[in-house]
Amino acid sequence: MRVAVVKVFLALLLMLGVGGPVLAGQKALAQSPVATSSAPQADRLATLEKQTADNATAIAAAQTSGDNAWMLVSAALVLMMSGPGLALFYGGLVRKKNVLGTMMQTFAMMAMVTVLWALVTYSLAFGEGNAFIGGFQNVFLHGVGLVPDPKYAATIPLQTFMVYQLMFAIITPALITGAFAERMKFSSMLVFMFLWTIFIYSPMAHMVWGKGGLLNAALGGRIPCLDFAGGTVVHVTSGVSALVTAIYLGKRIGYPKEPMPPHSVVLSFIGACLLWVGWFGFNAGSALSAGTLATSAFVATHFGAAAAAIGWSAAEWMRQGKASALGAISGAVAGLVAITPAAGFVTPMSALWIGLVAGVFCYLMVVKVKAWFGYDDSLDAFGVHGAGGTLGAILTGIFANSAINPILGAGKPTGLLEGNWHQLLNQFAGVAIAWTISIAGTLIILFVVDKTMGLRVSEDDERDGLDLSQHGEEGYDWAH
């Protein structure tokens, strides 16, 4: 009995389901002959057109919110690389009397470069200008609003682009501080960095990423150089300038006779791990959108770091019999540096190779080459960033793959392995320009600051440590 009721009920449902549309169709058929006059048809066309336009707007808005969400997170991640990442990484590597002074140098960049960026350096880097430097039309962020600039990033507000690029401008000079750690006056450091950001960072960023820049591969530069996230702009310039400052300032008192071991590898360890995570914003964010390119840069970044940690550790293990924590994290940072220009151009397998080579290469630079020449690059800013950045820029010209990023045109060979040996020459040219500007510019700035206000702290101040002598405080107060 109950079964019969269910069957009837189901049959009714079926009739409703099938019959409904049929009935509706008849109704529509019945209506269609009536709608022959042209006016309602034009109305419907207009409605459709409006709907299509609305859809396009909605799709664009959705893409903007998606891309913008990722870019804002990326900007925050890159700031996290400076403070706390780099501040901890460097802070742990110095002696404990210099821990605050070292962290403060990075933190000062977060404040000073930001203000400078708003006033003038954004305009110098990304404003319309010549092949070498931008103009002044964007000073005080004039014209940098919420409307995208399609030449830079079509789907995110220009202000997002501006603030994202700012984070790169902050960490670049902060990287240099590792070379002159434990001996530079805070006041002189500020003036040096102020000038460095204007005269070295801004033109270099403009050449590689700015509209009409000499080396810009995406916006028609004369020598298109592949630098996805700043291998030359950030790491070669900071690393080479670091070497110049280390040599110009001279060694720390007592170096290399007195022991100057890191006072806390634990702090450095936390800092390096923050750097690794932050680097996803640095590299994958450089896609300037949340699309597939960001994914491939993200993956390459991670693989490069891992392989380099293994490369450095293996080299150390073989030479010294132990794999140290400091070695592993230094290797990871070296790999992140080397993969920076390549991420977004290379396959995951190429990223593994780049990382592995960078890990071993930077280990040898830091352990062997530094000892041969005897310069006191205190925290190895050159050995890791200068050497790793240069290596990465060149390897990018070898491994760049048009399937990952057809930046030179769809199907056109990009790197040497695809047969485009010319790209390798361009990479060398980009590196050479970055080295030249960094050496010449840094030397001039150092000379000017040295002659006007002096660069180094007094011997007594250096012995007391930067914390007390420069800032009047101590990182660790054992008495309380």
Partner 1 sequence: MQKIEAVIQPSKLDSVKDALVEIGVDGMTILEARGHGRQKGHTEVYRGREYSVDLLPKVKLEIVVTDDMVDRAVNAIIAAARTGTIGDGKIFISKIDEAIRIRNDERGEIAL
> Could you list the residues that contact partner 1 (CB under 8 A)?
256, 259, 261-262, 265, 320, 322, 324, 326-327, 330, 363, 366-368, 371, 380
Render the burial of 405-433: b for 16+ CB within 10 Å, e for the rest: bebbeeeebbbbebebeebbebbebbbeb
Write down the least CB distance from residue 326 to partner 1, Å: 6
Give a three-class secondary structure readout of the chain. CHHHHHHHHHHHHHHHHHHHHHHHHHHHHHHHHHHHCHHHHHHHHHHHHHHHHHHHHHHHHHHHHHHHHHHHHHHHHHHHHHHHHHHHHHHHHCCHHHHHHHHHHHHHHHHHHHHHHHHHHHHHHHCCECCCCECCCCHHHCCCCCCCECCCECCCCHHHHHHHHHHHHHHHHHHHCCCCCCCECHHHHHHHHHHHHHHHHHHHHHHHHCCCCCCECCCCCCCCECCCCCHHHHHHHHHHHHHHHHHHHCCCCCCCCCCCCCCCHHHHHHHHHHHHHHHHHHHHHHHCCCCHHHHHHHHHHHHHHHHHHHHHHHHHHHHHCCCCHHHHHHHHHHHHHHHCCCCCCCCHHHHHHHHHHHHHHHHHHHHHHHHHHCCCCCCCHHHHHHHHHHHHHHHHHHHCCCCCCCCCCCCCCCCHHHCCHHHHHHHHHHHHHHHHHHHHHHHHHHHHHHHHHCCECCHHHHHHCHHHHHHCCCCCCCCC
Write down the least CB distance from residue 322 to partner 1, Å: 7
- Residue with Cβ nearer partner 1 (320 or 436): 320
Write down the least CB distance from residue 320 to partner 1, Å: 6
Write down the least CB distance from residue 170 to partner 1, Å: 26
Q: Is 254 left (phi over 0), alpha (psi -120 to 50) or beta?
A: left
Q: With CA atoms as reference, report the closest residue to 335 among 357, 316, 317, 350.
A: 357
Write down the least CB distance from residue 193 to partner 1, Å: 25
- Residue with Cβ nearer partner 1 (60 or 371): 371
CA distance 147 to 479: 55
- Residue with Cβ nearer partner 1 (178 or 281): 178
Angle at 457 between CA 455 and CA 460, to 5 degrees: 160
Side chain identity, residue 200: I
Write down the least CB distance from residue 264 to partner 1, Å: 12
Write down the least CB distance from residue 97 to partner 1, Å: 17
- Residue with Cβ nearer partner 1 (303 or 312): 312
Write down the least CB distance from residue 324 to partner 1, Å: 7
- Residue with Cβ nearer partner 1 (460 or 477): 477
| Residue pointed to by tokens 């700012």 | 166
- Residue with Cβ nearer partner 1 (262 or 291): 262
- Residue with Cβ nearer partner 1 (227 or 377): 377
- Residue with Cβ nearer partner 1 (258 or 460): 258
Token duo for residue 390: 């240069």
Write down the least CB distance from residue 367 to partner 1, Å: 3
Write down the least CB distance from residue 353 to partner 1, Å: 24
Write down the least CB distance from residue 438 to partner 1, Å: 23
- Residue with Cβ nearer partner 1 (188 or 378): 378
- Residue with Cβ nearer partner 1 (74 or 268): 268
Write down the least CB distance from residue 95 to partner 1, Å: 12
- Residue with Cβ nearer partner 1 (280 or 363): 363
How long, in residues, is the chain?
480
- Say which residues have a Cβ less than 8 Å from residue 39's Cβ, sequence separation at least 6: none
- Residue with Cβ nearer partner 1 (10 or 325): 325
